[in-house]
Copies of this chain bind each other. A is one copy, B any other.
């Protein structure tokens, strides 16, 4: 069974019907007529026939010969999460602007899928990789530290590894948010965590703790709960939190999904935001402004993240042997809306 989805007209065809060499045809059709001073006549013969036959050069052959694919790989934990979709959007658009294609893999938040995706992508000879890692360790990326393969991490990084990366300054974002809550009179602030041992989570928890310490508020570890960046985790932990005796007055949700879960729990318990409870979420999304009430959030520059990631990757592809360049942390900022209430100190 031949697949005729792929062009059948080749350089050879054209060369033979014109009675000239393949090389000459190649030169003309790859825009090097000038360089090799091919005669006007020959050139137009070739061009005409090529057009007539609707010749499309085989990228396949070209790729093999040139040993490049003008393709990069993108591994995302969940493309249907708008946060990651925003990154993916910018990555594909920027890559295309540079003549590159993007092969997308969805690791589904699963480390094994992530590893498999990376292998798959590599076997497809992508020239570089943009990865939003999901795991708690970067062991499987050890090989990429030696700078012989272009990879850049996005959103999360591994502090102990020297891989290029772009992420948000989560620590500061978290600190700003917590400080804001404290300014509004909150002292018992819960922190709904995501997956432990990820830079995202640890940095955010760190920022939270630092803000508290900075105001001489003792950190109550029972107020730091949760273990996954999911709606489910947000829901469960909030339920639990609300059962406790001395209830918190504010919640810092370390992701948009966690916040949605928290919202569900809070409304089930018949509590009103912000009157009964204040909340700040990470990840500003278009719909955040339309929630009940409009949600105050820590916004990340995720479009920029995608753009910078592509830029960094191309830098590495172009100069593979320079050292990995290290990482960039993008600023975060607080988007003030209505989910936080000023309370009087007790």
Contacts and interface: CB of A to CB of B under 8 A. Distances in A.
A57 interface: yes
B103 A5 contact: no
A176 to B, nearest CB: 24
A320 interface: yes
Interface stretch (A30-38, A115-123, A206-214, A219-227): A115-123
Contact of A104 (B58, B88, B108, B120): B88
Contact of A150 (B5, B119, B150): B5
A239 to B, nearest CB: 16
A85 to B, nearest CB: 4
A7 B126 CA distance: 11
Contacts of A290: 260, 263-264, 291-292
Contacts of A103: 71, 101-104
Interface residues of A, number: 66
Contacts of A78: 89
A88 B92 contact: no
B292 A119 contact: no
Interface in A68-124: 68-69, 71, 74, 78-82, 85-86, 88-89, 92-93, 96, 101-106, 108, 117, 119-124
A53 interface: no
Contacts of A6: 67-68, 125, 127
B127 A5 contact: yes
A326 interface: no
Contacts of A149: 5
A345 interface: no
Contact of A3 (B64, B71, B320): B320
A292 B289 contact: no
B101 A120 contact: yes
A39 interface: no
Given A123-B59, A125-B58, A291-B291, A92 B67 contact: no
Interface string A284-319: 011101111100000000000000000000000100
B4 A320 contact: yes
Nearest to A2: B67
Contact of A105 (B2, B61, B92, B123): B92
A69 B79 contact: no
A102 B230 CA distance: 26
Interface string A135-161: 000000000000011100000000000
B120 A96 contact: yes
> Nearest 10 CB-CB pairs, A to B?
A292-B292, A104-B104, A80-B85, A80-B89, A85-B85, A287-B287, A60-B64, A92-B106, A79-B89, A263-B290
30 contacts: A3-B67, A3-B68, A3-B317, A4-B320, A5-B125, A5-B150, A6-B127, A7-B125, A56-B119, A58-B125, A60-B63, A60-B67, A74-B104, A79-B79, A79-B88, A79-B92, A85-B85, A92-B104, A92-B106, A101-B105, A101-B120, A101-B121, A101-B124, A102-B103, A102-B105, A257-B286, A260-B286, A264-B290, A287-B291, A292-B293
